[in-house]
Chain A
Amino acid sequence: MILHLLNRSPASSGVAHEMLRTMGADDRLLLIEAGVYGAVEPQAALFSALEGRCFALLEDLASRGLTGCCASWVTPLDMQGFVTLTEETQRTVSWF
């Protein structure tokens, strides 16, 4: 199982689409930095099929005024949660 990290807003970059096409059925996605814009609807619709395995980094949400704005299928995650997620996955692939 791979943890994918996305740091680009889906609206400004095609990289989210490329990433989605490489994701396996158990892979997880963590939105970080500008990637957290993708946690909010309507952009979040792109990730609706990833319910339960789509996360957004809380501190990046907070700094952008997005706390509490996440779509229901995106789980906010603090740094400890990020560490746990990393431990649970075999490897990490960054998309930028």
Chain B
Amino acid sequence: MDDPQTMLVVLRHAPHDSSWLREGLDVALVAAALGQDVTLLFLGDGVEALRSGQQAGPLGQKGSHTTLDMLAMYDIEDIRVDAASLAARGLTVAELDWPVTPVTSDVLPGLFATSASVFNF
């Protein structure tokens, strides 16, 4: 959890419209493959990545949902989502496809402050 050795990867971009989400997930996977403890935080439009029912893009571009399915295989299990960002988009934790921990605004500064490194995507 708020382990000082943990790397925080913040995902702020929705799938399909840019490569930021994919790049952030790639950084998380590489770090985890090397044994680094990784915490993911979905913030802002990034929470759209957790919406259920996603598919590949119109030209066959891979979505991010299969990568999210794979996180557990990389032992990335600390997945947090900003509750306010969810609420602003009409989403609730219960309807998301992945096991995520909602966090409230008051814990965000501490999450940033206590992580060994922060990668913002």
The answer on direct contact between A and B (beta carbons under 8 Å) is yes
Residues of A that sit less than 8 Å from B by CB: 2, 14-15, 18, 21-25, 27, 91, 93-96
Q: Does B56 contact A (CB under 8 A)?
A: no
Question: Whose C-beta in chain A lies nearest to the C-beta of B45?
Answer: A14
Q: Does B33 contact A (CB under 8 A)?
A: no
A24 near B109 with CB under 8 A, answer: yes
From 81 to 95 in chain B, residues with beta carbon under 8 angstroms from any chain A beta carbon are: 82, 84-85
Residues of B that sit less than 8 Å from A by CB: 12, 43-45, 82, 84-85, 105, 108-113, 117-118, 120
A95 near B120 with CB under 8 A, answer: yes
Given contacts A18-B12, A18-B43, contact A25 B109 (CB under 8 A): yes
Given contacts A2-B113, A24-B113, contact A94 B105 (CB under 8 A): no
Contacts of A18 in B (CB 8 A): 12, 43-44, 82, 85
Contact of A2 among B45, B84, B85, B112 (CB under 8 A): B112
B44 near A2 with CB under 8 A, answer: no
Given contacts A93-B118, A94-B120, contact A22 B12 (CB under 8 A): no
Question: Whose C-beta in chain A lies nearest to the C-beta of B44?
Answer: A18
Question: Whose C-beta in chain B lies nearest to the C-beta of A18?
Answer: B44
B120 near A91 with CB under 8 A, answer: no
